[in-house]
Structure 1
Amino acid sequence: MRFYSAFRLLPCLLPVAALAQNAAAPAALAPLTVDKIMREPAQWLGGLPSSPYWSEDGKRIYFQWNPEGARRDSLYETTPGGGTPRKVSLAAQRQLPAPRGEYDEAHARKVYAQDGDIYLLDLKSGRIRRVTNTAERETEPAFALQDRVLSYTRGGNLFTWDPATGETVQRTDFRRGQPLPGPSADKSEKYLRAQQLALFQVLRGREQDRLARERQQKALARLRPKAIYLGTQTVENLQLAPDGRYVTYSLVQAPAADKQAMVPNFVTASGFTEELNTRNKVGAPQTAYQLGIYDIGRDTTFVLGYKELKGLDEQPAYRQEYALKAKAPTPAPEAKPAADGKTAKEKPANELRRVVPYGPYWNRAGDRAFLVIRSADNKDRWIVSLDPTTQKIGLLDRQRDEAWINGPGIGYEAGNVGWLPDGRRIWFQSEETGYSHLYTVDVLSGQKKALTSGNFEVQQAQLSKDRKTWFITANKTHPGEQHFYRLPVEGGQLTQITSRPGAHEVVVSPDEKTLLVRYSYANKPWELFVLDNKPGAKYRQLTHSTTKEFESYPWRDPEVVTFQAQDGATVYARLYRPAQPDPSRPAVIFVHGAGYLQNAHKWWSQYFREYMFHNLLADRGYTVLDVDYRGSAGYGRAWRTGIYRYMGGKDLSDQVDGAKLLVDKYGVDPQRIGIYGGSYGGFITLMAMFTQPDAFRAGAALRSVTDWAHYNHGYTDNILNEPYNDSLAYARSSPINYADGLKGALLMCHGMVDTNVHFQDIVRLSQRLIELKKENWELAVYPVEDHGFVEPASWTDEYKRILKLFETNLRGQSAAPASGAATGAGSR
């Protein structure tokens, strides 16, 4: 969701292109088949609108759309008043300013980067000035020096351009490597040098010339930035302070040895196997970051230190577990070593953790700045004031989480932060109460204030142009709904603007009087609407994307139900009930991917293919349950971190409790329950089939993580820590360690060019199953697919296999497990 000049919406007027497409489409879709629902979506479901944004004058709306069923979306435009959307020609697109950019304080000008050059747009006249036109790429444009100049980076250095004079000034001179060596300080070498100058007149003359050149260069150097040598480091995030005295920058040190996993690509245009360089694995050395400060007036540089940060030496609580085991005379039964035989090592209590700084963020007057600092283990986030003159920081807020810091508006970097108009209070989002809410803190008094509160999440927050109102998206009415609200800048009552059940992704118009909304409901795909920015406003539909073929089928509005987990927690899920249940009373549980993602909601799912497949299953008499298990998004901090140090724990028991609900409340046969999912959902499916074999008779694990020690660092380290420090967490969370428990029928599907969860994952598990002499499993491979499948033929093949697995094992007369060895994608 976005609030600036770019967003999304639903239909009212029927565009000519959509009418033509619908007229040509078949009249009926039922009965559903895998072949029908796994076709190219744009050709029968409809090309849904995306990435909408306003023109700078608010008179036009632009968005990506595909009403023609083409291979790719195109840019379309319409007006807030409606009418038939019109495709924007490539020639016209080249004349449009980029939708994203930076505005000056008066909101009269916008600077943006496009195709590697910098442009300045006058919002009143619409005039565009090209600031740069070079072969090098210029990026990160911004207004600087109280909006008098523009700043941008080129070749790792900071430049400014003055619109009044046209003068370009280079503000930094960063250079790789080390400076050239000067005269040696060695006593012996100094003696020899003095002797040479005393003996030879030609050397004395050359020395005088050298000194004269140095004096001249030193005089000229006062007009040029200081040469700063980086060694093996690089720089990012160059910023000029509002008063022009300082340049701040991030110093980036890549790890010396960064071994990357390679993924072979077999089906290539060249006919040769090509290797794709992908990523390292969890626990590998990580990039280090520091904040550098270049004091232009003093012509010197500093690197900020963080020793005074409260809790910087505080080690994670889980390490105490290993410390106690190390001191115990005999290890506890569950204290198993890692698969490689190594055990975790306790770190010294006084060790300072590495941190990553973000910012600085300056107020409008330029007299105050703050940083967001995160520990490298992501268990702490500090917001601190910064005095660049003294290089001192002062603590304003600390959020500590023994699991990991994240949540809406917080993320993995700086998060959603800024200054209030008074220039002395900072606003930010925090999960301090267990839900992400909006806060302010006074940099002088340290007083903190919560602007929102309650058992719901603030998912987006942005100040209006006049800085008097917050524009907020939150799930206040229901965890499965997203609405747009207004809130006074000092807090108070949230005023709900949108009214329809579902999700609203909102872009506020330039004059902030109108909302551009991308809206959807559970069985109604995304469309674009506009409505006035006031409560109870009427929705005016701009697009109609779905085809008559898609509309010919009565797509289910799945029930959003709740049930109680075995630990007493309330679990949300989507339920698809058959109009005519099959006599054998089968059921399937779907497990969404990503872990931190929500799918038991009231809007059009990003798992739309799975949604359609669930309708197909319900038509065949299956009951389908889609659980927002522990680790899912939308339910606050406790739910988000419920999988800490044990993936396959509560996230799996939530599936088992869902199966119990199906039996107890909906009459499902406990011997005829299947489970399936992709990515994280595939991982859970494997854990279910290996560790809960009596609960699930058949499972389809798609693009599954089979061993978390082989996944990436950024995701896995947050949840399981490093494998060499927390081997127990990895041992109990990785399906490959439980493969001997397989009883039911297992289908595994994986793309061979998966650069996220590597094909190696499923190969290792297959070898493990072979060595365990398991026979009731099948592996289908897809030679041209990455993690997210693209080709309709692959989707079709995969879901035919899934359907066959369930039909054979859940609806068959004997409901006996299927048998078979590993096969390729082309065989059944």
Structure 2
Amino acid sequence: MRRLLLAGLAAFTALPALAATPAATLDLETIMANPDWIGQAVESPYWSADGQAIYYQLKRDGSQVRDLYRVDLASGRSEKLDPAAVAKADGPSVYDRTHRYAAFVRHGDVFLRTLADGRTVQVTQTVEDESAPQFSADSRALQYRSGDDWYSYDLARGVSAPVAVLKFADDPEQAKTGALEAEQLKLFSTLRQLKADKDAEQANARALAAADPGRAPQPFWLGDKIVAMDTELSPDGRWLLVVTRPKSYEAGRHPKVTHYVSDSGYAEDEDARVYVGRNEPAPQSLLLLDLRAHQQYPLSTDGLPGVKDDPLAAIRAQTVAALERAGKDDQAKALKAPDLRSVRIISSAEDGGGGGIAWSADGSNLAIQLRAIDNKDRWIASVDFVRHALVNQHRLHDEAWINWNFNDFGWLKDGRTLWYLSEETGYSQLYVKSLGGKAEALTSGRFEVSHPQLSEDGRWFYLRTNKVAPYSYDVYRVPSAGGELTRITHYQGMDGFELSPDGSRLAVLHSSPYVLDQLAVQSAAGGAPGDLTRTMKPAFTARDWIAPKIVQVPSSHGAGSIYAKYYGPADENATTRPAVIFVHGAGYTQDVTLGWSYYFREQMFHNLLVHKGYVVLDMDYRASEGYGRDWRDAIYRQMGHPELQDLLDGKAWLVKNHHVDPRRVGIYGGSYGGFMTEMALLRAPGQFAAGAALRPVSDWRLYNHEYTSDILNSPELDPHAYDISSPISYADQLADPLLIEHGLIDDNVMAADSIRLYQRFIELHKKDFWMSLYPMERHGFMHPDSWHDEYRRIDELFDTYVKPAK
């Protein structure tokens, strides 16, 4: 089997040999140009309904439009579909239990196909976007949703109807009779007769509706105090689960970003996300609707184990005591622990398809994944349909925070056994558990398991894992009944996969450090793959790129090895040289892999730096993905501290092993990498000759709730964590040249972060700090001119303060 190896440029075997162009001829104009010159990554592959072809998307050169392609597996021929062909294309399909039918969504409408003859019926033709098609348990109906409303299409009759009508108001028939109304009825027989007639008509209408499936269902009156966040229909059509939140919930004040360059010629403001701690996420509740009996039942979360605990009790007590000593009794009272922790459910509105709700295929069982709003607990509970109650099946607790990844779960084909991912051992692993039984681990070890897919016959789980090494990802499979974990692909840079409808083949996206995602197909049992795409361009592949060398930097703080990518000349000598440390963004991401990097521009820039005499180190510092729970949790309540230790260890490793002058080391990065650049210069003055902080977080109190509260709790409850984790707290220690670069319409890390820190430097009479603002850029820069200007300034910074010998 062909393997994509790290050494040298990995290319497709069908590509012709290309003459290498020395990377020394690279320049910033080329590196930061529109990346269309590199090629296009294969995106969003999915199988045709009959499993004989694979569809995928490619970005169009010079445009953000994605074109749809179809590759026929028998011939290997790939074609771009014109608008007429797109109008007839399949979408990602679902199947009934007999595999007689397939259903998919095309341009927001639902289609039904009979697989035997290919006959296709358009089920909907609306201005709304329908989604989430699923077949009923008896294969007699096709169910789908429009917003939070569910519909059922009767395959025999060809009729579509709502399965439930939800009214978020009080039932007018159940309005209480006031004293005056009661007196009126008592006095006047005509009013009593009119009321009796109305009651009789309503009772008759209910009886007729109950006996006639051809009528629209009677509404469920759910009250005017709640709104729907999600709804999920059981495959047997009996039950509808409704996730709600209080209607009165307000997220809090929205800060603004200002568009100074606009179509109108006027400065225009735009709402951005709310700051952390301004208001907690809305608590959610569950309603179970019995569509057959027309009854509704609240599902209480009060019985979940640990839901009444306060995992923040010790921190709460310290903060309350400090507030009371300062005479801030009102603030202290506001931090009182709740009697019951609020929860929420990952909804389809967040992940596009059900998220934390999983029905068994026959509709007889329901599992719900709930998370505490304080981020410390995750529960998977089943539903007792007799008692209308939640039954806990699994609790995952983390003293730091529950990972937003590794929360996949569902049912085996028997509809009685749950499967789920859990980090309880320190690494994401796959488990199965029968209702009421004990959990069994299907995988175990010091590696991460993700993206489980159950085969059509229910015999196998297919998984993405980095079992060989933290930086190497491939598809493995394990029997659902337990057994050996077996490697299926051998790419080392495997980025995604999809099982064919019959479970016999895999469509695989794979990449390497200098090859974008490409599509291949192979047997689900393993074997030689067949490459289906070649989308790289000769202008890029012809260059002699420097292969990043994956190294292990020893931690001097007991953290073990810190994996990193090292870029250096092929023929190193004893001459001392300057170095640059690159810090990836997002905190919890992984850049040290054998696949294509999100930071591909930076990787080309690192090639340029090497040919200018530098060496470069790119580290997966603590908090990075791919190394288990403890590596992720190390930064809890102390962001910027373990990571800085790792970066300093990286510098020491460069000095010891690659003749780097310790006085000539620069550092740079964007987003979290920009934050860490500021922390490095401000908390370790003198260690770095200069730093460039791109779109950095300078004060975590200004960042969003979902990310920040996981790691630092809330600023009201845990102010110390915010103080020690925010660069602005250390502004007085600036002693080394710092370049700050920020997009003015960044609605993720807002420019106010950098501007506030800049003002602190002004007031502290600091020198050698600069700021470059980009009026038309958000967090992820989009325009080549901005990319070029940004990196021209970084290049000049390093050439001025890092490259020269001191």
CA contact (8 A) 2:494 2:508 kept: no
Alpha-carbon distance in 1 for matches of 2:425, 2:375: 18
Residue of structure 1 equivalent to 2:7: none
Alpha-carbon distance in 1 for matches of 2:58, 2:176: 67
Change beyond 3 A, Cα 1:60–1:593: same
Query: CA offset at residue 145 of structure 1?
Result: 4.3
Change beyond 3 A, Cα 1:183–1:290: closer
Q: 1:56 aligns with which of 49, 66, 76?
A: 49
Residue of structure 2 equivalent to 1:371: 368
1:283 and 2:277 are equivalent in the alignment: yes
Residue of structure 2 equivalent to 1:517: 508
User: Counterpart of 1:671 in 2: which secondary structure?
Assistant: strand
CA contact (8 A) 1:427 1:440 kept: yes
Alpha-carbon distance in 2 for matches of 1:352, 1:701: 38
User: Counterpart of 1:651 in 2: which secondary structure?
Assistant: helix
1:381 and 2:373 are equivalent in the alignment: no
Alpha-carbon distance in 2 for matches of 1:337, 1:266: 44
TM alignment of 1:446-485, pairs within 5 A: 446-485=437-476
Query: CA offset at residue 84 of structure 1?
Result: 5.8
Alpha-carbon distance in 2 for matches of 1:557, 1:678: 23
Change beyond 3 A, Cα 1:13–1:585: closer
Which sits farther off after the overlay, 347-356 or 448-457? Answer: 347-356
User: Counterpart of 1:475 in 2: which secondary structure?
Assistant: strand
Q: 1:491 aligns with which of 458, 479, 482?
A: 482
User: Counterpart of 2:467 in 1: which secondary structure?
Assistant: coil
1:612 and 2:612 are equivalent in the alignment: no
User: Counterpart of 1:669 in 2: which secondary structure?
Assistant: strand
TM alignment of 1:598-747, pairs within 5 A: 598-747=590-739
Residue type at the aligned position of 1:39: A
State the Cα deviation string for residues 301-338 of structure 1 (Å, max 9, x = none). Answer: 12110211111112124x3144257569998xxxx999
Q: 2:297 aligns with which of 288, 293, 302?
A: 302
Q: 2:165 aligns with which of 155, 173, 193?
A: 173
Residue type at the aligned position of 2:52: K
Residue of structure 2 equivalent to 1:273: 267
State the Cα deviation string for residues 376-406 of structure 1 (Å, max 9, x = none). Answer: 1221111222112311222221110011111
Residue type at the aligned position of 2:397: R
Query: CA offset at residue 774 of structure 1?
Result: 1.5
Which sits farther off after the overlay, 74-83 or 245-254? Answer: 74-83
CA contact (8 A) 1:344 1:724 kept: no
Query: CA offset at residue 663 of structure 1?
Result: 1.4
Query: CA offset at residue 288 of structure 1?
Result: 2.4
1:811 and 2:806 are equivalent in the alignment: no
Q: 2:550 aligns with which of 547, 560, 566?
A: 560
Query: CA offset at residue 172 of structure 1?
Result: 1.5
Alpha-carbon distance in 1 for matches of 2:486, 2:515: 26
State the Cα deviation string for residues 560-599 of structure 1 (Å, max 9, x = none). Answer: 1112222211211111113467955211110000111001
CA contact (8 A) 1:631 1:641 kept: yes
Residue type at the aligned position of 1:296: L
User: Counterpart of 2:801 in 1: which secondary structure?
Assistant: helix
1:397 and 2:394 are equivalent in the alignment: yes
Alpha-carbon distance in 1 for matches of 2:420, 2:147: 33
Residue of structure 2 equivalent to 1:260: 254
User: Counterpart of 1:323 in 2: which secondary structure?
Assistant: helix
CA contact (8 A) 1:425 1:441 kept: yes
Residue of structure 1 equivalent to 2:244: 251
Residue type at the aligned position of 1:568: G
CA contact (8 A) 1:757 1:787 kept: yes
State the Cα deviation string for residues 187-216 of structure 1 (Å, max 9, x = none). Answer: 354224433x15xx6x56655654454444
CA contact (8 A) 1:14 1:543 kept: no
User: Counterpart of 2:421 in 1: which secondary structure?
Assistant: strand
Change beyond 3 A, Cα 1:344–1:128: farther
Alpha-carbon distance in 2 for matches of 1:356, 1:329: 33
CA contact (8 A) 2:456 2:501 kept: no
Which sits farther off after the overlay, 612-621 or 353-362? Answer: 353-362
Change beyond 3 A, Cα 1:345–1:148: same
1:532 and 2:532 are equivalent in the alignment: no
Change beyond 3 A, Cα 1:773–1:296: same
User: Counterpart of 1:755 in 2: which secondary structure?
Assistant: coil
Alpha-carbon distance in 2 for matches of 1:10, 1:516: 19
Alpha-carbon distance in 1 for matches of 2:183, 2:637: 65
Alpha-carbon distance in 1 for matches of 2:753, 2:13: 47
Alpha-carbon distance in 1 for matches of 2:128, 2:490: 49
Alpha-carbon distance in 2 for matches of 1:79, 1:12: 20
User: Counterpart of 1:586 in 2: which secondary structure?
Assistant: strand
1:97 and 2:93 are equivalent in the alignment: no
Alpha-carbon distance in 1 for matches of 2:579, 2:175: 81
Query: CA offset at residue 131 of structure 1?
Result: 1.1
Change beyond 3 A, Cα 1:337–1:733: farther
Alpha-carbon distance in 2 for matches of 1:517, 1:82: 18
Alpha-carbon distance in 2 for matches of 1:799, 1:341: 49
Residue of structure 1 equivalent to 2:764: 772
Residue of structure 2 equivalent to 1:194: 186
TM alignment of 1:294-373, pairs within 5 A: 294-317=289-312, 319-324=313-318, 347-348=336-337, 350-356=339-345, 360-373=357-370
Which sits farther off after the overlay, 524-533 or 639-648? Answer: 524-533
1:227 and 2:220 are equivalent in the alignment: yes
Query: CA offset at residue 14 of structure 1?
Result: 5.2
Query: CA offset at residue 290 of structure 1?
Result: 1.1
CA contact (8 A) 1:520 1:604 kept: yes
Alpha-carbon distance in 1 for matches of 2:117, 2:124: 21
Residue type at the aligned position of 2:120: I
1:800 and 2:795 are equivalent in the alignment: no
Q: 1:106 aligns with which of 93, 98, 101?
A: 98
Change beyond 3 A, Cα 1:438–1:88: same
User: Counterpart of 2:546 in 1: which secondary structure?
Assistant: coil
Alpha-carbon distance in 2 for matches of 1:271, 1:104: 55
CA contact (8 A) 1:13 1:543 kept: no
TM-score, length basis structure 2: 0.90
Change beyond 3 A, Cα 1:804–1:649: same
1:750 and 2:742 are equivalent in the alignment: yes
Query: CA offset at residue 116 of structure 1?
Result: 3.1
Query: CA offset at residue 255 of structure 1?
Result: 5.3
Alpha-carbon distance in 1 for matches of 2:402, 2:139: 35
Residue of structure 2 equivalent to 1:88: 81
Change beyond 3 A, Cα 1:67–1:181: closer
Residue of structure 2 equivalent to 1:4: none
Alpha-carbon distance in 1 for matches of 2:649, 2:319: 33
Alpha-carbon distance in 1 for matches of 2:323, 2:747: 45
Change beyond 3 A, Cα 1:253–1:667: same
Query: CA offset at residue 659 of structure 1?
Result: 1.1
TM alignment of 1:196-211, pairs within 5 A: 197=188, 206-207=194-195, 209-211=197-199
CA contact (8 A) 1:143 1:149 kept: yes
Query: CA offset at residue 488 of structure 1?
Result: 1.6
Alpha-carbon distance in 1 for matches of 2:142, 2:732: 63
RMSD: 3.0
Query: CA offset at residue 795 of structure 1?
Result: 0.5
CA contact (8 A) 1:686 1:735 kept: yes
Aligned pairs, how many?
Answer: 780
CA contact (8 A) 2:304 2:392 kept: yes
CA contact (8 A) 2:590 2:624 kept: yes
Residue of structure 2 equivalent to 1:545: 535
